[in-house]
Amino acid sequence: MLNFAALKKLIMKLIKGTKLYSIFTGTCPVCHQGDMYLENNPYKLSKIMKMHDNCSNCGKKFKIEPSFFFGAMYVSYGVGTAIAIATFIIAYFFLGLDRNYTFLVIIIALSVLFPYILRISRNIWINIFLDYDKKIAEQ
Ligand SMILES: [Zn+2]
């Protein structure tokens, strides 16, 4: 029987070398090995924004230019909207909640998931500008 840990390991193996790997694991977009964040758990809110300056593995600078991660706000808007729409579909159509409860569920979902939305948005943003480099990864 397939358990969650084995399934996660399989998925990570399949997406290794793609931008999805860096986006979902928070690793360096160039080598997929060094961590971008000082703290891997996004729910430790005091450290949520703290990032390494450079990749510990390949030395790539994460903050490409001053205020680089401000652009992640635009991505965050898109990710938040996608989650709100998905929550609406689940709550309104599948669970059959009325409009007011659906609205409440959307607010709760966005509040609870905000650390993940923030991290995922930053990861997507940096992956727009930096690409995986197999040569650097194998060094
Ligand atoms: Zn790296």
pLDDT one-digit tens code per residue, 13-45: 888 889 999 999 999 999 999 999 999 999 999
Q: State the Cα–Cα distance between residues 135 and 96, nearest whole angstrom.
A: 52
Q: Which of 6-10, 48-52, 103-107, 135-139 has the highest mean pLDDT?
A: 103-107
Q: Determine the distance separating the centroid of ligand 1 and the alpha carbon of 55, expressed in angstroms.
A: 5
Give the pLDDT mean for 49-77: 94
Q: How far away, in angstroms, is 54 Cα from ligand 1 center?
A: 8
Model confidence at 139, in pLDDT bands (50, 70, 90)?
A: confident
Arithmetic mean of pLDDT over the chain? 93
Residue 16 per-residue DSSP state: T
Exposure b/e, 48-64, CB count within 10 A at least 16 = b: beebeeebebbebebee
The pocket of ion ligand 1, defined by CB under 5 A, consists of 28, 30-31, 34, 55, 57-58, 60
Cα(90) to centroid of ligand 1, in Å? 38
CA of 73 relative to ligand 1 center, distance in Å:
23
Q: What are phi and psi of 43, to 5 degrees?
A: -85, 0
Per-residue buried b or exposed e for 16-25, using 16+ beta carbons within 10 Å of the residue's own CB: eeebbbbbbb
Say how many Å lie between the CA of residue 107 and the centre of ligand 1: 36
